[in-house]
Amino acid sequence: MNSRRGSVTRKFGILTSGGDCPGLNAAIRGVCRAAQGRYGMTIVGFSDGFRGIIEENARVLGPNDFSDILTRGGTILGTSREKPFKSDVGSMDDIVGEKVGAVKATYRKLGLDCLVVLGGNGTNTTGYRFAQEGLNVIGLPKTIDNDIVGTDQAFGFHSALSVCSEAIDRLHTTAQSHHRVMVIELMGRKAGWLALYAGVAGGGDVILIPEIPYDIKAVARHLEARTRSDRPFSIVVVAEGALSIKEAEMDKRERKKHRAENGPSVGYRVAREIQDETGMETRATVLGYVQRGGIPSASDRVFATSLGTAAADLLARGDYGRMVALRSGELGSVDLSVPAGRVRYVPRDHYMIDTALAVGACMGIG
């Protein structure tokens, strides 16, 4: 049995915020087991993200709460997209002030030494803003989009990659049987990590990501060349944030109007454009929320657990205002200001883009 070690943090709160993804429960388990078993901390769990701390919807967590949750999908704490620093109704200053004040009041009323937040870009940005408000905060990076600045990887990505790769595998048989072009739309509103990796893993013939605006004529030429080479079927993998060269030249208002007139989403727009350009029978599939549901992969279980135990070590040292991160193969942390308000895009010179091109995939240009 582990002997208890000294800890600066005696009592902390924990919440999960934003979209769910595989590995959240594994991370919760990692934080809580290490914090309680190794350091003897008291843990307060907040329900449904920042809404729980605003409404003081909290409970003390014990070993039974984080037992047998390693393999479970979703989050035992529940989640929401509540953003205390934003409001869409009423007087923004008043409503935001009330929410931020409520969070700070709950934190102090419960005698917390720190708040641990598990989430993506928005959650860690909110965590940073509360750190600026005087609260002690530690963040953990989760997102299937893998687009958090400051860490080379976020948990949830590999689980989603597995689901997306399997979906592409299944579409291959239909595409081949019916001699069709099959377009599959994956998540990735701002960054194309998931579409890029899934496209390579699933043998996508065309991969379109937000970082590289596509030329539909280049896509059409590639698909027509495949047909002439006696391969009358193709798989087109599209990130939900992918945009054409024409769209990239528009301002936000023009782009929004264009998409509303040519919806419902990029997968369908690309499928329509391909059929118009080539005359090939084309179908679109939007994988949607299936990508971020279900149980975590073995890789994400291990990674999320490691991030969780690393967060417990930060708590014990009183090393607040940090986000646990994997950088160059080493587990450490970065200041919460690093990911705040930023997106980790796929660099144009990233090796995986060259890998895709080298095996014959079209990235929408050339």
145 is catalytic: yes
Whether omega before 264 lies within 30 degrees of 0, making that bond cis, reads yes
Q: Sign of the C-alpha dihedral, residues 52, 53, 58, 63?
A: positive
Give the C-alpha separation, 282 to 143, whole Å.
31
Task: Cite the DSSP H helix spans in the chain.
Answer: 24-33, 50-54, 92-109, 121-132, 157-178, 193-201, 216-228, 245-248, 252-261, 266-278, 298-317, 351-358
* Active-site annotation holder among 48, 113, 145, 205: 145
Give the C-alpha separation, 169 to 167, whole Å.
5
Give the C-alpha separation, 210 to 242, whole Å.
4
Rounded (5°) CA angle 53-23-315? 55
Tell me if 274 sits within 8 A of 280, measured CB to CB: yes
Cα within 13 Å of Cα(288), Cβ side: 5
Annotated catalytic residues are 145
